[in-house]
Structure 1
Amino acid sequence: MSKAFTLIKEEQVSELNSTAKLYVHKRTGARLLSIINDDENKVFGINFRTTPKDSTGVAHILEHSVLGGSEKYPVKEPFVELLKGSLATYINANTFPDKTCYPIASPNLQDFYNLIDVYMDAVLHPLITEQTLMQEGWHFEINDPAEPLTYKGVVFNEMKGAYSSPEGVLETRIIESLFPKHIYSVDSGGDPRNIPDLTYADFKAFWENYYHPSNSFIFFYGNDDPDARLKLMEGYLKSYKRKKVKSTVKPAKPFKRAKKVEYSYDAGSDTDIESKNYLVVNWALPETTDPILNFSLRILGSILIGTPASPLKKALLDSGLGEDLAGLGLETELRHLIFSTGLKGTRARHAKKIERLIIDTLEALVRDGIDPDMITASVNTAEFRLRENNTGSFPRGIALMRRVLTTWIHDDEDPFKLLGFEATLNEIKARLAADPRYFERLIKTHLLENPHRTTLRLKPDPELARRLEEEESARLTKIRESLDGKQIAEMVKNTKNLKLMQETPNAPEAVATLPVLKLKDLEKENKSIPIEVTQLQDTQVLYHDLFTNGIVYLDLGFDLHAMPQEYLPLTEIFARALLEMGTETEDYVKLSQRIGKSTGGIYGDSLSTTAYGSKENVSKLFIRGKATMNQSTEMLNILKDILLTTKFDNRERLKQIVLEEKSGVESGLVPGGHIFANRRVRAQFGGSGWVNDQMSGIGYLFALRELAKDIDKKWPSVLKKLETMRDALINNRSLICNVTLDAANWAAFKPRLENFIFALPDKEVTLKPFDIKASPEKEGLTIPAQVNYVGKAANLYDLGYEFDGSADVITGYLRMAYLWEKIRVLGGAYGGFCVFDENSGVFSFLSYRDPNLDTTLENYDNAAGYLKNLDPNLFNDNELTKAIIAAIGDLDTYQLPDAKGYTSMMRHLTGKTDAMLQKKRDEILSTNGEDFISFGEVLEKAAKSEAVAVIGSQAAIEGSKAGLKVTKVL
């Protein structure tokens, strides 16, 4: 063990099969938490407690900036260079109200060490110049003395996008309302109105103050050498001495009485704003440090609003006073826990009713008691999630790091307390057994008798965007009028110098300093996933023999081609109705509780893709469930009941589901506009793209609005459609079952599954192809936003391209080189992407939180020339190697067992064999310069495509020279 560190505490965390060791670095006081286990997806993070004093976004801008070049790696953006050529499963940085985190994850040891080296030099020795602040934060943009001044900057535009989202504004205002005159009352991400107040001196001083090892919290997780971790860190920390950093986040001063606050959000040009208010009630709760109270409040949050059966959620939605829940729910990542709930899609005059309803419901629960089945279901759900430890594609280690930081960052002497959960859960169960009113008492103490509460109304303001634009314009005009000719000339010079810096390639010798894997470090053979294709009754069953720690993962796929094409927009509603409407023997509350008590969750998931090498459309509705083996029979019983006996005749309940879905899609348009733009532009090519837009995109939103009206006016017709869908879909002849489980447990589960299949209808089935014609057009879809999401697409197969694995290398390089520079660095957008669907042949360009529109489309069209004219030296140095490595990393992305089983099923459904996957891998590894040129030639044809979809501001869309057909979405 390194002598540079003192071991403070060591503990076996049996629930995670891990050993946790807490150290302090003797010279600096840096804290280091080392978690040792057999997870190959290794994680490292260096975290700093950062406490900004204002809303200039200094913490956020600095988070971007330190990854923009360092002393050891003096390239413009080492972060991008890493993304170009790493096997990493996660590379990013995150700004929170009280901390800034720099986590990475990789299953490859050398890659892991390379990433650590770049990140440590970035945070401790960044080259943060004035131009760094100009690019990542904000600057005055003026290209000619006759032009007006404008603001530009990546974070400036990112936060304009964030402030265009009502949910984003609501989250910020909730925390601000609960913690006035506290660090949490400022926006660490940055308010666009305040970002231009940030000076370079303050920017640099923030780094000098907070980015010191004495203020750091270092985290390791995984199967790398634990002694090497300490030696590695000593190498970075040994030149530093202990420094006193004033960064403590003090506990909030409790309110003496509850408060009411109002804020506004940008409602765009919509005149129908009466029912677009938000009303939420929010509580500041105790600190996160007590694990029993922490986990108890998490369970209480689930009891109150976590499921359709939750009494507070049900009361709010049944009231008809709003469309869907709003608020933070239970926020767990600050020093204080927060509970927040209410309604969106409400009327201003209903504010008092909603507030009263929340309080009355909580009082009734304390007075009359919580349904014991609801408590049992919530405790079981919490326990299942903790034991399963399934974080999806997000690395487990980073999820644990964030959980630990909630107490550790505030100098808690025992950061292990939130790692384990057995003792905590056992204590909660013991308290509940001794006092069946345990959770009722928590409601009384921490909600009803807690005056640290705010009632917040977020009101729509159709004039807000105009006022903000006028304020910004007036501010810029005033600044310009205060400048003399010499000062304006200096600004023009600064703008040009910044662009020159942005456009000047990194020096080859600087790029060469970055650590890069070699091709010999890559696996040459494709990783196969076990699959056994069998038949039970008339149903095809796919089985994957994988270790799942005794959990059964079951996917039931129903073929959507068995139903009429016009019912596609009802797919998600049908899936939710199965799980949230109740059956012949149980109402939806009891059904929801039963699911919570007896499974790890059951949910619906639609899929539409193209079979590889054909135009055949694969579209299915999946009902996905998971349970422990001893609960697996009950899971199958629940699935049988919902598939065969769901009652669709509760008009009000279905209306709630539809309004929740509609509200969810509308809320997702600003934070996820690029996703919706991608679905919309791909829909123009027919096939699976059109189906996906109908089931989860803009087409789905339009259909939901019509469906809400039809429920009111044509209820018998809606009911008949749902019955028709059940009759068409629930049939074991068109069903596919996908099971992921180890062999010993499969032997026990297989006969249970066969009995389940036998109970399903067995009848003739006719699968009809969807009749969808391609119809490329230039669409402009307007929403109230200060930024745009710009998509353009073409079908490369229709243009003569034949797929080659090199496409993965080229699109990855195009994304991280050309699009990053043109769309983000020069254009000021938060992101630029390109996506190629090798199944359908559709290739799309996309931008995210983009201040531009026409310029972005022009940049897309120029991508072909970029590829065709690449410097031949590219293919003689490590640029090509990096691009190949990144493509292999995407191919070999780390997956948990359930994801592996699902991936294997997808390959089966689309006709991708192991031999085909190996051929693709070989083509990736042998990619050369000719491949880039060939791809550039097909993109040259793609530039002529008329398929464009832009989601953005009305002014930008109507002012575009692209000739967009304008449709109002919000």
Structure 2
Amino acid sequence: MSTHDAFELVRDEHIAEVNSQAKLYRHKKTGAEVLSLVNDDENKVFGITFKTPPEDSTGIAHILEHSVLCGSRKYPVKKPFVELIKGSLNTFLNAMTFPDKTAYPVASQNLQDFYNLVDVYLDAVFFPLISEDTFRQEGWHYELEDAAAPLVYKGVVFNEMKGVFSSPDSVMRDISQRSLYPDITYGKSSGGDPKAIPDLSYQQFKRFHEKFYHPSNARAFFSGDDDAGERLSILDAYFSEFDRAPVDAEVQLQPRFNQPRNIVATYAGTKEDGKARDGMVSVNWMIDPPADKTESLSHGLLSYMLAGNPAAPLRKALTDSGLGEGITGGGIGSGLRQPMASFGMKGIDAADAGKVEALILSTLEQIATDGIDKQTVEAALNTFEFSLRENNTGSFPRGMSMMFSALGTWLHGGDPLAPLAFESALTTLKEKAASGHFESEIRRLFLDNMHRTTVTLSADDKQGARDVAAEEARLAKVRARLDVEAIKAVIADTEKLKALQEAVDDPAQLAKIPTLGLADLERTIRTVPIDIGALAGTKLFYHDLPTLGILYLDLGFDLHVLDKGLLPYLPLFGRALMQTGTSKEDFVSLTQRIGRSTGGIAQHRGLSARQNDSGSAAWFFLSGKAVPDKVEEMLAIMGDVLLDARLDNRERFKQMALEEKAGFEARLVPSGNSIVDTRLKSGLTEASWIAEQMGGISYLNFVRDLVKRIDSDWDSVQAALKRIRDTLFNRGRAVVNATADASIWGRAQGEVASFLERLPSGNLALADWSVDFKPRSEGLIIPAQVNYVGKGANLKALGFDLTAASSVAIKFLNTTYLWDKVRVQGGAYGGSSRFDLTSGNFSFLSYRDPNLLKTLDAYDGASKALNAGIGDNDLTRSIIGVIGDMDGYEFPDAKGYSSMWRQLTGTTEALRQQRRDEVLNTSVADFKALAEAVDAVRDKGHVVVLGGEAAITGANGKRPGLLEVTKVL
């Protein structure tokens, strides 16, 4: 049977909106469905997805997602997934568990690499080894090393989910979803509740794979410029090994409530003296499945109009109420068969939850009755249309975005092509908008919808201790049932698992994992066209690239003109420019104007060490994008934002400060490793010190104090904001970066020049940013059951002058020693090292880590792994992986911005080529050089830990004086 004969062609049509020929196939033998998109995207994408609805909250689907990538029939090694991370040119490589599905997507620009990834993934999902030891490692197990020691739980997913449930926002999302769908699979925690994960048996785990990981339950997807026939050949080679099987994986519909429900719960948090605002509230609705693309697009538009930006009426009403510090929820999601909608607030007094609920409902009623402002509707429609046509998915492969769009209907028996075509739906919505469509939808979806829950959470400073005590009591009961022989068996199982984790894979088996060779790699760097000149006395970078008729413009202003004491104001100053309005229009009108006329205007900051310089590149950017006919208006808006923002708007500024505070506090657990990294390096270099002032724990403390100063000393706060504007926005120390094809830039150049001439000019002196750097070892306490453990130093300051080849040694270190010691054996969700060649900063980091001292010991032993040497295959794989990182896929706007940033940091093309050559020529000597540097970090580095009080104080008890302790939350 030929490959094409194995599949039945169900649909074949061109979808202009995504420039693809779409073919939908059904595998005749198994019933597996395949959506194949042929287009000119060099970033090729494959994904295979299974419907995996869980029946409980043991995390069975999540644990299986981890486990199938730990060895398969064709590739019987411990971690083929990690080998691919180490030695692939992939632009995406991961797996994801959702409430009703598990997806395995990959992407690569290199054809052979792409085929390699597809083959490893297909073998992994259909023929995994999934031994009981893998289940114990990735899911959960009892660990006991000594008969006198307490029994403990270990497992990667177990600790990952402890980290998830340490985040109040995650707790709110989990309870809200479960509250709406109590009778179906969406009422379970698909990721796994740590309290339920130990209820899962290996036998259940195996049966789950046998039931759901079958071609009859599969949705396979391809997109890109690879051969369409070869796609089918690859799939049939696997599918044909199976017979058709009935798979009951349908997500049932949740019966509707007759009346709304209220849920009151707590999260493990800290109660501050005199602070009542430790609560959160979310008002949630279950929505009927959208009938078509028009309705699903309508959901997105309505959510955006109500709460998608600070000027949206529902979001503004909540913010203006003063009832809380920040917004939760964002409208109607698209990930569930029956979508979920949520709006709410965090940082409230839990006693005010009823007031927030009432405000949400009354505001929706008012909007439905009085109508949505026409300017708001016009701005939302333009914003969505621009986004749909631009189809810019950033670092996320475009094909993957299309895959998940298709799965929204495809998974539940709908048309997978319908979500990809938007022209008709957009036209219909434009017509409906003028006749009260969205107002009617507010009434139908929310006001008349009794399937609603209101979830109120408040902090409980004793809940963390209760949870720990409950887990210990559960383990004690298990321990009490074990006789001497059973205890010996648990110790033996612990030793066996550790031995397996430490065992080295057979080199012959490792060699089976497909990889490219060094000869397959490009020897020269990829360059971006750039013309460097001047425009109206301002330095100009121009990139002639195809941009689908859009001009991308970045205006950059050198932060070095500001006094260093002003730097912590920058994040809120940037928000104030966009969200306070101007002397001519309030911020609602300004936001509408941006939406009507542009593809978006945004402010952000760029920060990096400079090449061969102890200083930093530190810039404030205002970036915009527009079609040629709207460039003049975009520039007019930019001018108003830069020079005429209402920096005297005290109440609005306080609202933003409270949102900033609440947002940062919410990020402490989900982004703990980044916060530790920022803090760890803040005493090492100028750029890192600035990063801490504008985005680390120091910034959080600044914002907390600023909230009080806005009330007690607004004049000084306002003066600081105005001083920033008056000093910073000067074209004498500015740059302009334009990315567009020549015809567009030819039309826009004069308009940009006229705009620049309106900016103040002058030669400003650079401020003194000298800082007495003093790295410290710190323990930062938050209410969490996991830790984020960092250790680092500046290698240049320690006398090391490493080359770019060190990145290959670090790739190897991260994917072997640290993966094994910190994640596999330690049970953390992640462990890694980072090294910035420009600054010399080096750090070890762990993520959602149950350990502290054990992880530090692992860091201190890292040099042994580097000194042990590396085989030729591992060296080749690691080089390939680093080249893949260097050659990441970028859309034209990102290419233009990256090219500009290289100019601002002094990164010449010659230096880029030198570093590529160093990577390609990496040798064992480079591993030895990094090993010596890592030993210096062991001896002279400092430690920063973000985690629970018991872990941090316990570590100080065992190693007195290790950490200077500070309570963060």
SS at 1:770 equivalent: coil
Once residues 918 and 639 of structure 2 are traced to their aligned partners in structure 1, the CA distance between those partners, rounded to angstroms, is 46
- The superposition leaves residues 760-804 of structure 1 with CA deviations (integer Å, 9 ceiling, x where unpaired) of 011231112411222111011111111011111111111222231
Match of 2:651 in 1: 652
Could you tell me which of 14, 29, 32 is aligned with 1:30? Answer: 32
Structure 2 counterpart of 1:698, one-letter code: I
Moved more, 289-298 or 76-85: 289-298
Could you tell me which of 887, 893, 906 is aligned with 1:911? Answer: 906
Match of 2:540 in 1: 541
Match of 1:275 in 2: 277
User: Pairwise mapping of residues 62-101 of structure 1 onto structure 2 (< 5 A)?
Assistant: 62-101=64-103
Answer yes or no: is 1:407 the counterpart of 2:406: no
SS at 1:32 equivalent: strand
Match of 2:498 in 1: 499
Structure 2 counterpart of 1:911, one-letter code: G
Contact 2:802 2:929 in 1 (8 A): no
Match of 2:427 in 1: 426
Match of 2:356 in 1: 354
SS at 1:542 equivalent: strand
- Structure 1: 5+ residue runs without aligned partners? none
Structure 2 counterpart of 1:592, one-letter code: T
Match of 1:564 in 2: 563
Match of 1:524 in 2: 523
TM-score (norm: length of structure 2): 0.98
Match of 1:302 in 2: 304
Answer yes or no: is 1:941 the counterpart of 2:936: yes
Once residues 677 and 517 of structure 1 are traced to their aligned partners in structure 2, the CA distance between those partners, rounded to angstroms, is 36
User: Pairwise mapping of residues 880-895 of structure 1 onto structure 2 (< 5 A)?
Assistant: 880-895=875-890
User: Pairwise mapping of residues 121-520 of structure 1 onto structure 2 (< 5 A)?
Assistant: 121-268=123-270, 270=272, 274-412=276-414, 414-433=415-434, 435=435, 437-520=436-519
Match of 1:753 in 2: 752
SS at 1:279 equivalent: strand
Contact 2:308 2:330 in 1 (8 A): no
Answer yes or no: is 1:830 the counterpart of 2:833: no
How far does residue 273 in structure 1 lie from its aligned partner after superposition? 5.7
Contact 1:271 1:462 in 2 (8 A): no
Contact 1:136 1:155 in 2 (8 A): yes
- The superposition leaves residues 373-407 of structure 1 with CA deviations (integer Å, 9 ceiling, x where unpaired) of 01111111111111111111111111111111111
SS at 1:943 equivalent: helix
- Structure 2: 5+ residue runs without aligned partners? none
Match of 2:796 in 1: 797
Contact 1:863 1:939 in 2 (8 A): yes
How far does residue 947 in structure 1 lie from its aligned partner after superposition? 2.4
Query: Residues 461 and 811 from structure 1, CA distance in 2 versus in 1: closer, same or farther, beyond 3 angstroms?
Result: same
Once residues 364 and 824 of structure 1 are traced to their aligned partners in structure 2, the CA distance between those partners, rounded to angstroms, is 52
Match of 1:773 in 2: 772
Once residues 736 and 231 of structure 1 are traced to their aligned partners in structure 2, the CA distance between those partners, rounded to angstroms, is 52
Contact 1:281 1:355 in 2 (8 A): yes
Structure 2 counterpart of 1:140, one-letter code: Y
Structure 1: 4+ residue segments shifted above 3 A: 268-273
Once residues 688 and 448 of structure 1 are traced to their aligned partners in structure 2, the CA distance between those partners, rounded to angstroms, is 51
How far does residue 919 in structure 1 lie from its aligned partner after superposition? 0.9
Alignment RMSD: 1.1
Once residues 410 and 125 of structure 1 are traced to their aligned partners in structure 2, the CA distance between those partners, rounded to angstroms, is 25
How far does residue 274 in structure 1 lie from its aligned partner after superposition? 2.1
Structure 1 counterpart of 2:868, one-letter code: N
How far does residue 493 in structure 1 lie from its aligned partner after superposition? 0.2
How far does residue 834 in structure 1 lie from its aligned partner after superposition? 1.0
Once residues 779 and 552 of structure 2 are traced to their aligned partners in structure 1, the CA distance between those partners, rounded to angstroms, is 42
Could you tell me which of 2, 12, 15 is aligned with 1:13? Answer: 15
Structure 2 counterpart of 1:116, one-letter code: V
Once residues 628 and 838 of structure 1 are traced to their aligned partners in structure 2, the CA distance between those partners, rounded to angstroms, is 39
How far does residue 15 in structure 1 lie from its aligned partner after superposition? 1.2
Query: Residues 449 and 28 from structure 1, CA distance in 2 versus in 1: closer, same or farther, beyond 3 angstroms?
Result: same
Contact 1:782 1:953 in 2 (8 A): yes
Once residues 742 and 408 of structure 1 are traced to their aligned partners in structure 2, the CA distance between those partners, rounded to angstroms, is 38
Once residues 689 and 364 of structure 2 are traced to their aligned partners in structure 1, the CA distance between those partners, rounded to angstroms, is 45
Once residues 626 and 359 of structure 1 are traced to their aligned partners in structure 2, the CA distance between those partners, rounded to angstroms, is 36
Structure 2 counterpart of 1:606, one-letter code: R
Match of 1:808 in 2: 807
Once residues 639 and 765 of structure 1 are traced to their aligned partners in structure 2, the CA distance between those partners, rounded to angstroms, is 22
Contact 2:862 2:934 in 1 (8 A): yes
Query: Residues 394 and 272 from structure 1, CA distance in 2 versus in 1: closer, same or farther, beyond 3 angstroms?
Result: farther
Match of 2:699 in 1: 700
Structure 2 counterpart of 1:157, one-letter code: N
- The superposition leaves residues 799-838 of structure 1 with CA deviations (integer Å, 9 ceiling, x where unpaired) of 2222312011111111111110111011100001111111
SS at 2:288 equivalent: strand
Once residues 530 and 952 of structure 1 are traced to their aligned partners in structure 2, the CA distance between those partners, rounded to angstroms, is 46
Contact 1:777 1:946 in 2 (8 A): no
How far does residue 331 in structure 1 lie from its aligned partner after superposition? 1.2
Once residues 390 and 940 of structure 2 are traced to their aligned partners in structure 1, the CA distance between those partners, rounded to angstroms, is 47
Query: Residues 555 and 344 from structure 1, CA distance in 2 versus in 1: closer, same or farther, beyond 3 angstroms?
Result: same
Contact 1:606 1:695 in 2 (8 A): no
Match of 2:113 in 1: 111
TM-score (norm: length of structure 1): 0.98
Match of 2:893 in 1: 898
User: Pairwise mapping of residues 611-626 of structure 1 onto structure 2 (< 5 A)?
Assistant: 611-626=610-625
Once residues 625 and 564 of structure 1 are traced to their aligned partners in structure 2, the CA distance between those partners, rounded to angstroms, is 27
Contact 1:316 1:357 in 2 (8 A): yes
Structure 2 counterpart of 1:233, one-letter code: L
Once residues 221 and 10 of structure 1 are traced to their aligned partners in structure 2, the CA distance between those partners, rounded to angstroms, is 14
The alignment of Structure 1 onto Structure 2 pairs a total of residues equal to: 963
Match of 2:583 in 1: 584
How far does residue 225 in structure 1 lie from its aligned partner after superposition? 0.3
Moved more, 920-929 or 604-613: 604-613
Moved more, 266-275 or 793-802: 266-275
Percent identity (aligned) = 48
How far does residue 472 in structure 1 lie from its aligned partner after superposition? 0.5
Contact 2:29 2:240 in 1 (8 A): yes
Match of 1:687 in 2: 686
Match of 1:637 in 2: 636
How far does residue 945 in structure 1 lie from its aligned partner after superposition? 2.5
Structure 2 counterpart of 1:552, one-letter code: L
Structure 2 counterpart of 1:573, one-letter code: L
SS at 1:944 equivalent: helix
- The superposition leaves residues 915-938 of structure 1 with CA deviations (integer Å, 9 ceiling, x where unpaired) of 111111111111011110111112
Match of 1:958 in 2: 953
SS at 1:655 equivalent: helix
Structure 1 counterpart of 2:422, one-letter code: F
SS at 1:352 equivalent: helix
SS at 1:514 equivalent: coil
